[in-house]
Amino acid sequence: SQTIHQWPATLVQPVGSPLSLECTVEGTSNPNLYWYRQAAGRGLQLLFYSVGIGQISSEVPQNLSASRPQDRQFILSSKKLLLSDSGFYLCAWSVATPGTGELFFGEGSRLTVL
């Protein structure tokens, strides 16, 4: 069966510091990978998605970036965090397109920027 791991689970960082969140998927090959952010009282916002190694699509202009160095590894980064980057970050995977569309999420990473 497929599993998705995301870490760290909780992170408190000062403004201006760098960020690296990691996500790995097991039990499947060539998945689509996603980073979403969930702010209090708001729906999940798609940040990045990837259909293959080195292929990244950005949905929202911001100071975050994503990379996919391996087939089942997805990394969310920032060089300098802003207060507005605080939130709950979720990694997800889906079967490669066309697939059936369902997303399967990790447990999330809670980021607090002070």
Partner 1 sequence: EDQVTQSPEALRLQEGESSSLNCSYTVSGLRGLFWYRQDPGKGPEFLFTLYSAGEEKEKERLKATLTKKESFLHITAPKPEDSATYLCAVGGFQKLVFGTGTRLLVSP
Binding site for partner 1 (CB under 8 A): 6, 32, 41-44, 46, 49, 51, 59, 90, 92, 94, 97-108, 110
In the complex, what is the shortest distance from the CB of residue 76 to partner 1, in angstroms, rounded to a whole number? 15
Question: Looking at beta carbons only, is 9 or 15 nearer to partner 1?
Answer: 9
- How far CA 107 is from CA of 6, 53, 63, 81, 92, in Å, comes to 7, 23, 23, 22, 9
CB of 91 closer than 8 Å to CB of 6:
yes
Query: Min. distance of Cβ 16 from partner 1 in angstroms?
Result: 27
How far apart, in whole angstroms, are the C-alpha atoms of residue 24 and residue 83? 27
Query: Which residue, 1 or 97, is less far from partner 1 as judged by CB?
Result: 97
Nearer to partner 1, 46 or 53 (CB): 46
Nearest distance from C-beta of residue 25 to partner 1, angstroms: 13
List Cα–Cα distances, 30 to 9, 22, 84, 90, 101, in angstroms: 25, 17, 32, 19, 15
**Min dist. Cβ of residue 80 to partner 1 (A):** 27
